[in-house]
Chains A and B, each alone.
Chain A
Amino acid sequence: MKVIRLPRRLYLPLSILFWIGVWWLLAALLNKPLLLPTPIAVVQTVGHLALTGDFWLAILMSLVRILLGIALALLFGVLLAMLTVKSPFCHHLFSPLLTLCKATPVASVIFLVLLWVGRDRVPLFIAFIMALPIVWSNVREGLLQTDRKLLEMAKVFNLSGRQQLISIRIPSLFPYFLAACRSAIALAWKAGIAAEVLCLPKRSIGLGIYDGKMYLETDALFAWTLIVILISALVEWGTLALLKKAQKHTYREEETYDQAH
Chain B
Amino acid sequence: MIKLTDVTRSYDEKTVISNLSFTFPDKGCFALMGPSGCGKTTLLHLLSGLSKPDSGAITSTHGQIAMSFQEPRLLPWLNCEDNIKLVLSKRQDAAEMTAKWLAAFELSDAARQLPGELSGGMKQRLSLARALAYGGDLFLFDEPFSALDPELKSRIASIIKEATKHALVILVTHDPEDAELLDATILECNGSPLSMLK
Contact = CB atoms under 8 A, between A and B. Distances in A.
Q: Do A and B bind each other?
A: yes
Interface of A: 149-150, 152-153, 155-160, 163, 167-168, 171, 251, 255, 257-259, 261
Given A155-B50, A156-B65, A259-B95, A163 B73 contact: no
B86 A163 contact: yes
A136 to B, nearest CB: 24
Nearest to A155: B50
B89 interface: yes
Interface of B: 48-50, 64-67, 69, 71, 73, 75, 77-78, 82, 85-90, 94-95, 130, 134
Contacts of A150: 73, 75
A261 B90 contact: yes
Please give me the 10 A-B residue pairs with the lowest Cβ-Cβ distance, nearest first. A157-B87, A153-B73, A258-B89, A171-B77, A156-B67, A152-B50, A149-B73, A258-B85, A156-B48, A157-B134
A259 B50 contact: no
Contact of B82 (A153, A156, A158, A255): A255
Contacts of B85: 255, 258
Nearest to A171: B77
A171 B107 CA distance: 24
Contacts of B64: 158
9 contacts: A152-B73, A153-B67, A153-B69, A156-B48, A156-B66, A160-B89, A167-B86, A258-B86, A259-B95
A156 B50 contact: yes
Contacts of B67: 153, 156-157
B50 A167 contact: no
A257 B75 contact: no
Nearest to B50: A152
Q: Which of B73, B88, B90, B130 has the most CB of A within 10 A?
A: B73
Contacts of B134: 157
Contacts of A171: 75, 77
Nearest to B134: A157
Contacts of A259: 94-95
A54 to B, nearest CB: 47
A110 B77 CA distance: 43
Contacts of A258: 85-86, 88-89, 94
B76 to A, nearest CB: 8
A153 B50 CA distance: 9
Contacts of B78: 167, 251
A157 B84 CA distance: 11
B75 A167 contact: yes
Contacts of A149: 69, 71, 73
Q: Which of B48, B71, B89, B94 has the most CB of A within 10 A?
A: B89
Given A152-B73, A258-B94, A259-B95, 10 more contacts: A152-B50, A152-B69, A153-B67, A155-B49, A155-B50, A156-B66, A157-B130, A167-B78, A251-B82, A257-B89
Contacts of A255: 82, 85
Contacts of B77: 171, 251
